[in-house]
Amino acid sequence: MAETWAEYTRRITAGATQSEIAARTGIEQSSISRWRQGKNMPRAELVVTFARAYDRNPTEALIVAGYLDRDEIGGVIELETSLSAVTTDQLLDELGRRFSDLQGRARAAEGGEESTTWPDKWARRSSTQGDLGGHHSGEAGSGS
């Protein structure tokens, strides 16, 4: 049986009074009272505020409160950012990860054979803009 939000708040606060919890979290004491009695559920932003005040993972609290399902947290979370804010190493790491993913899918589609070619989109670009390290389209390039 899953822990309820009321049970979670009682466990996390370890016997603190409602006024102590309110002082620590900045959340109204009346709200905390209703949570602990199981009368209502907090808004998502208050769940996060509560978790952070008690040095807990906000995702854990959002699951207990019913805002997220355990199955939803297993994947990669991608946040958009400006490419100008990304370092060269971060960009290369991401390109490497994506290329590895593409290679894995290609191997699976080809029955497990090793694929050493760049994606077609990259190969076309490399032929018009110069060598991408000598690895496009499976050919040994002239660059090093």
User: Is residue 67 domain-shared with residue 123, that is, in the same domain?
Assistant: no
Whether residue 81 is contained in a domain is answered as no
Whether residue 106 is contained in a domain is answered as yes
User: Is residue 45 domain-shared with residue 103, that is, in the same domain?
Assistant: no
Q: 73, 105, 129: which is the final residue of a domain?
A: 73
> Residues near 69 by Cβ (< 8 Å), separated by ≥ 6?
63
Tell me: pLDDT of 121 over 70: no
Say what the pTM is. Answer: 0.53
User: Is residue 62 domain-shared with residue 11, that is, in the same domain?
Assistant: yes
Share of the chain above pLDDT 90, in %: 37
Q: Which tens digits make up the pLDDT trace of 30-67?
A: 999 999 888 999 999 999 999 999 999 999 999 999 99
User: Is residue 68 domain-shared with residue 101, that is, in the same domain?
Assistant: no
Whether residue 88 is contained in a domain is answered as no
How many of the other CB atoms lie within 10 Å of CB of 80? 4
**How far is CA 12 from each of CA 33, 51, 109, rounded to the nearest angstrom?**
15, 9, 48
Q: 41, 73, 105: which is the final residue of a domain?
A: 73
Give me the pLDDT at residue 44, please: 95
Whether residue 85 is contained in a domain is answered as no
Place of tokens 């958009």: 80
Among residues 15, 46, 100, 25, the alpha carbon closest in space to that of 5 is found at: 46
Structural domain harbouring 20 = 5-73
Whether residue 78 is contained in a domain is answered as no
Domain count, the chain: 2
Name, of 33-37, 79-83, 131-135, the range with top average pLDDT.
Answer: 33-37
Whether residue 65 is contained in a domain is answered as yes
Tell me: pLDDT of 85 over 80: no
Tokens representing 79? 């946040």
Give me the pLDDT at residue 74, please: 72
**How far is CA 54 from each of CA 11, 57, 70, 98, rounded to the nearest angstrom?**
11, 9, 21, 37
User: Is residue 51 domain-shared with residue 13, that is, in the same domain?
Assistant: yes
60 vs 52: CA distance, rounded Å: 11
Higher pLDDT, 24 or 116: 24
User: Is residue 68 domain-shared with residue 112, that is, in the same domain?
Assistant: no
Residue 90 DSSP symbol: H
